[in-house]
Homo-oligomer: A and B are copies of this chain.
Amino acid sequence: MNEPISGPAFFIGKGDDTLISFGSGQPDMPPPIEAFNILKTYTRFKYGLIQGEESLRAALTPLYPQAAAEHFVITNGASEAIDLVLRVISKQGAKVLLPRPYYYSYPFNVLFAGMEPAYYDLDKDGKIDFPAFEKEVERCHAVLINSPSNPTGTVQEVETLKKIEALCERLGVWVISDEVYKDIIYVRENYLLQGPRVVTVNSFSKTYAMCGLRVGYVYSQNKELVDGIIEMKTHTAMNTSIVGQMMALAALSSPRSYVAHNLEMWKERRDLMYDGMLELGLELWKPEGAFYVLPKFKDSGRAVSDLYHNYQVITYDGTWFGAPNRIRFSYALDASKIQEGLRRLKEFLGKEHASY
């Protein structure tokens, strides 16, 4: 229970130049200049609508077929979005199905909402094993889908996602689809899960590199759910920071080349990272989206510790993500640092060959 906290929370904010950090899951480039430009003359400070600014919600509608502004709630990042959705749909002790490996907050989110996590393992390619999913889902109240995935870097097959839509609709199971990496995907366009029980969670953090500003959102066609989220947020947080929302709106209206350019850069880094790790003899999935690799390590806990203390390389133990014997490397850092990090990793692997 302590590791996921002491891990990421401990490493965030470290800025020592001799360190190479493959830890933090945040883009290193700045947000679109348009987002900062609005600050020069910014003067709003009053409460806004709990649901989020109408202008921002309206600006999101072109991204979702058949969407209207009323289908969105703007939240304090995807974290609050997931927390609110789970709390609103919560039934005491009900099961919520998670993939394993999972984003490290998911089990906590489920528990904090008074429910119980249930798990199925992704297959050897980091994909959803549909029979395994099908077997577990019947006894669940909700499922969490995360494609592209943090920490696996894999993207789920459209065919599988469609089967999940149909099955969950038939069973009356909620589908919470965390699509925060929808714009960082290398193999195809993102597939938006849809259906009467589907709730999409998204964020401006990854697409527009504004993690610290904490602007995310929930999208759902289910009016009762949206109303329930607004009601809860009225008492637990009120409106999401007005200035953050206005920066998000400005980011949305920035040229599409911002996103396209970043995607090119992510892809170059992905290649550097993946090819470099293959060359070192590591076993890992080729990232299809997001900006993580999750190679196998025999003793991941000791490797993370040694890499940090002896090589000044920050990585996250796969154990925190339900993936013991793996380590998560984020490649949200520039090419020269990736190369230096790989050089140190090679040194580490050479010395530690006997044990790894």
Contacts and interface: CB of A to CB of B under 8 A. Distances in A.
A312 to B, nearest CB: 20
Nearest to A212: B242
A184 interface: no
Nearest to A230: B9
Interface residues of A, number: 54
A349 B88 CA distance: 42
B47 A112 contact: no
Contacts of A211: 45-47
14 contacts: A5-B234, A9-B234, A12-B50, A26-B46, A36-B42, A46-B212, A47-B211, A48-B212, A83-B237, A105-B235, A112-B232, A114-B114, A214-B239, A244-B244
A43 B36 contact: yes
A235 B26 contact: no
A98 to B, nearest CB: 13
A235 B83 contact: yes
A150 interface: no
B36 A231 contact: no
Nearest to A38: B39
Interface in A32-76: 36, 39-40, 42-50, 76
